[in-house]
Structure 1
Amino acid sequence: MSRLCAKPLFLLLLLPCLASAFLLPFPRASIPSRSPSVLLSSVEGADYPSDTADPEPSPEAREGNATVFPPFTDEGKVQLREKFKCQIYKAAARLNRGQLANLDQQNEMSNLIAQLEAMGSGRPAEVEAVEGVWELVYSDVAPFRASPFFMTVGKVMEGTTLSAEEFFRLHRLATRGSEIGKVRQIITSQELVSEVEILTGIPSIPFAISGTVVTRASASRTNEGALKLTLKSSGVQSSSLFSLLGAGGNLPELPLAEIGERLGLFPPTLLLNTYYVDANMRISRNEDDHVFVWARGHL
């Protein structure tokens, strides 16, 4: 089966999950075009560590699920790094994780994030450095697009009549009354689990539909250092609608990869690069160079 033929068929396989995904919101802000020069920006006069992550921690430096990295020895570098992080956190909170940002504000955040990324070597981080629980604090696209499910949708739609961006534009028109809650990723050496909380109001009815879309993807590291992801399954948990219908609140996860294999359809491989990570912040980019800033969380 040709690649172009298989893509629409695999998209049909995703339709059951897309039905629940259409409850999710889309940011109203336009997406700025990114210049390659932004990624090459650096902080004047700074000589940063050559590795992407802080130095590897000792076993004694681990506290619970969070990995505590030894601090930089240069006090000036530490202060500058913490200043950038503080500015990112404040702006992200003010802009509702980027959903309220206009074009100028997105460009300002892009430059600030790029300066923090410049503190690394530009090589993707080791998988061990990004393992753990992470909560999304900022993205330059809709927060739900951090999910490997929507990354797969975008990849599958490449070369088709309806582009991924056009699909997400239509998605925005269909979901104006929805709100997005917490967005989390739980990363291990073999799997990435995405959790997206959603809340949708019903017009003229004092009732809101809430739930968490859970997507699982297999994870491994490429020779170039990127995190290679392949969609495995997707479902809905803690749904108020399913609870009301007596379904226990959970919709069983649909084993998309398994079903696809039986039909001779295989999900595309996704690449996720992390150029900055420390004890409590991670900055990752997808293949379209959209940026996602994460803060260390807890189960």
Structure 2
Amino acid sequence: MLPEDLRQVHPDTSVAFVRAGYWNDVERLLELAPAVSWVHVNMTGVDHLPVDRMESAGVILTTCRGVLDHSIAEFVLGSVLLWSKGLLRSALDTRERRTDYREPKANSELNALIIGTGNIGSECARVFRQAGFGRIVGIRRTPLPLPAFDEVASVSELQLHVGQHDVVVSCLPATTATDGLIGSALLRQLREESVFINIGRGSTVNHLALAEEMNDRAGAVAVLDVTDPEPLPSDHPLWDCSNVVISPHMSGDTVGRHDAFAALFLENLRRYCSGDDLLNRVGRSA
């Protein structure tokens, strides 16, 4: 179902497979199809959906969590290489007809900090490990050992860790606790030569502060697949930073993703019809 198809929903519909990323017209769906008991969305994050309202209405919500994890981690690795191998600098120099010699960094020389150790953060850590990175540290609300990381620290220790790593990756969801978490004080700790990557949510980063810090760090690069708002206003200072790369929230959107989405939904449909537990269920009763 796409948003424009909503008016065609049959009143006896019990299952809705929503293909649109940021669809949130739950009230309209419940009005047109009061018998709906399960909604599956092609998104990992559900901060745009009224989860409590759906649960109170007895509607099960499931997501595509996990489907895009490896593709996103590949994007993150590519973003690191853009900086560590000097590819962004080479691309900019090419336009100026320049070829200044530089020494790229080996993967084994890089230490990575991953803020958010959920599915995507853990997959980034595994991909970094396979690529031969050095020490990999994760940040999570409640620290506990995780196999993909050399160390897991708490959010309260975040500021201490940022300056110790060449690679800083944010995989944070949008919550009241993460809103603006990566602000001026934290960004000021970034190394003079480092790469900052955000594939979580744009609301977690102070973008004005990021622009200021990137202007002060010619040897650093920031890669943002998410911003707040999306897209950024045309007069935002980040557009003027030559060491900032902004992509249109597409890090996991591979051509074949829809087949993977469909396969997950069909497996859940089989489970639904059999009365089995659904995969990727969201909510207090999950």
TM-score by length of structure 1 reads 0.25
Higher relative contact order (CA 8 A, sep 6+): 1
- Asked which structure has the greater CA Rg, the reply is 2
Quick check: which one's strand share is greater?
A: 1
| TM-score under structure 2 length normalisation | 0.26
